Amino acid sequence: MTSFLSDLVQYRGLFQMIPVLGIGGTFQIGFQVSTITYTSQHVKAFINETWLKRYGYPIHQDNLLFLWSITVSIFGIGGLLGSSGSRYLTVKYGKKKCLLCNNLLMIVAASIMGCSKIAQSFEMILIGRFMCGMSAGLCVPLHYQYVGEISPRKLRGFANSTSSLFWSLGKAVGQISGQRELLGSQSLWPLLMASCGLPALVQLITLPFFPESPPYLIMHKGDQEGCKKAIRQLWGEGHHQAEIDDIMKEKATMKNTKILSVLELMKEPAFRWQLYMIAILSATIQLCGINAIYFYTFEVLQAAGFDEKMISYMSLAVGLSELVATVVCSSIIERLGRKVLLRGGYWIMGSLLAGITVTISLQDWYFWMPYCSLCLIILFVVVFGVGPAGATVSIRTEILRLSCRPPAFVISSVLNWLGVFVIGTTFPFIVERLKHFCFLIFMGVLFTSGIIVHLFLPETKGKSIVEITEEFNKLNFKKKRLTTTPNHATEDYTFCTRL
């Protein structure tokens, strides 16, 4: 506790910036995921009402299900497009400028969705959700990279895990706001959809007071004075030579190296296994079942046999459980390491999904079985928050050099958003066809990913990017003779040895 308090004082600039990045970053996607659940019944009724006024007859149930699934999944299409452009925009304009402009897009999207009911247009919800997806698709990878680059090595795992903390916080805030007593009522649901503009406004006002990341300033802008100023503002006046050495070693290895494109990165054999790991971790996050539970919490709990009036409060309990779990993850990630949290988390989550399948199958046999299903769902969310949620973010930031991070995050984000779209579109039909056996698909993915992580992913806790790269080179080149990076960078980096 004493060590944490001293870090809090010394790195107060960093601890002040993390909430600013979080509120306009992963908070947004968590908020969107949960609010769409609480507006589902109202939006379906609004679509039916609008259709009846326009055409004189109610919409067919199959068409309503299709429009609703598109309303959910179009967020993923927007996210896919937004993330695809993140590499180009990040390299050209920097993370800070991109985030500031991105907030304007989110505010416009929120305004469109807020006016949909007045305009009697469910198409405006589709447009707003698409624009929100574009905004989230851009800001989430920027948030991940920004947090990772402004953090010293000793706090890197903690800082990276805050991304999942704000994701869970966004879910919890969305679930609280979506209660019938607040904004989840028949009359106020447009305000609930429009409230995503408030976090964007907060970041738009506060982010200008903070610096661009030190690695970006020195590696891409060559701004030594700006780098010194950013380090002082974020890390205080202490001695930060180890972190400075890491930045300069990476810069030395990047000399005459440009930021790779997505295609160039995919063709480069030196980063083959890093990309494999990123693809596996990104796919597992989407196919582990967590998004399915959040997108369709009402349907899942209804299948478990709960009364419709109680489901909203149960969904809130699920969201708050994940929030608490991510706080725990932030406190233990530097002790246990990333690999343990990923591997153990996947295997435990897979076992819990098997239990959920069994309890839902037996819910008609015993009156207490639905409560077992609820407990297992909450435990599943807790394990996800403690393990894979935070550790995945850390791994994706730590295993690649700065020259590779923008295209790697494009690949990761494209996979994530494709997963959001596919799960959002297909899960209602999967549930309809497979019933309670639908979770067995996710269980198979979790056990397989856990084995792959156990066999091939090196631990990154407390290691520099040069050390992590050497670990991956053993996989990338196997028995080939490797040209190792020298222990000391060849460039002069004494410009910031005294701050």
pLDDT in tens, 421-430: 777 667 667 7
Out of 16-25, 99-108, 125-134, 244-253, least confident range: 244-253
Report pLDDT for 452.
92
Please report whether residue 282 resides in a domain.
yes
Report pLDDT for 499.
40
Which segments of 220-307 does DSSP mark as H helices, in order? 224-235, 241-253, 262-267, 272-287, 290-295, 297-303
Give percent of the chain above pLDDT 90: 14
What is the rounded average pLDDT of the residues 283-309?
Answer: 70
Please report whether residue 370 resides in a domain.
yes
Please report whether residue 499 resides in a domain.
no
The CA distances from residue 24 to 29, 101, 106, in Å, are 9, 11, 10
d(CA 449, CA 342) in angstroms, rounded, equals 9
Out of 35-44, 117-126, 231-240, 424-433, least confident range: 424-433
What is the rounded average pLDDT of the residues 437-454?
Answer: 88
Which of residues 255 and 124 earns the better pLDDT score? 124
Per-residue model confidence as pLDDT tens digits over 67-87? 887 888 788 788 888 877 877
**In a 10 Å sphere around its CB, with 0-12 CB exposed, 13-18 middle and 19+ buried, how is residue 4 labelled?**
exposed
Q: What dihedral angle (degrees, nearest 10) is formed by the CA atoms of 35, 36, 41, 47?
A: 130
What is the rounded average pLDDT of the residues 200-216?
Answer: 89
* The total number of structural domains that make up the chain: 1
Tell me the pLDDT band of 109, cut-offs 50, 70 and 90. Answer: very high
Per-residue model confidence as pLDDT tens digits over 321-330? 877 887 777 6
Over the chain, what is the mean pLDDT? 79
Please report whether residue 442 resides in a domain.
yes
Report pLDDT for 490.
35
Please state the separation of Cα 363 from the chain's center in Å.
33
Per-residue model confidence as pLDDT tens digits over 139-192? 888 887 788 788 877 777 778 778 878 888 888 888 888 888 888 888 889 999
What is the rounded average pLDDT of the residues 236-253?
Answer: 68
d(CA 131, CA 142) in angstroms, rounded, equals 17
What is the rounded average pLDDT of the residues 46-74?
Answer: 86
Please report whether residue 487 resides in a domain.
no
Report pLDDT for 493.
34
Please report whether residue 2 resides in a domain.
no
Per-residue model confidence as pLDDT tens digits over 475-493? 888 755 444 444 433 333 3
Residue 199 is part of which domain span?
7-235+253-479
Collapsed DSSP state (helix, strand, coil) of residue 305: coil
Report pLDDT for 495.
35
Report pLDDT for 126.
92
Per-residue model confidence as pLDDT tens digits over 400-415? 776 777 788 778 777 8
The two structure tokens encoding residue 424: 């959002």
CATH of residue 45? 1.20.1250.20
Out of 1-15, 47-61, 151-165, 364-378, least confident range: 1-15
Cα within 13 Å of Cα(432), Cβ side? 7
Please report whether residue 16 resides in a domain.
yes
Provide the terminal-to-terminal Cα distance of the chain, rounded to the nearest Å. 27
The CA distances from residue 436 to 66, 227, 302, 360, in Å, are 21, 54, 11, 6
Please report whether residue 201 resides in a domain.
yes
The model scores a pTM over 0.75: no
Which of residues 319 and 50 earns the better pLDDT score? 50
Which of residues 6 and 27 earns the better pLDDT score? 27
Report pLDDT for 60.
86
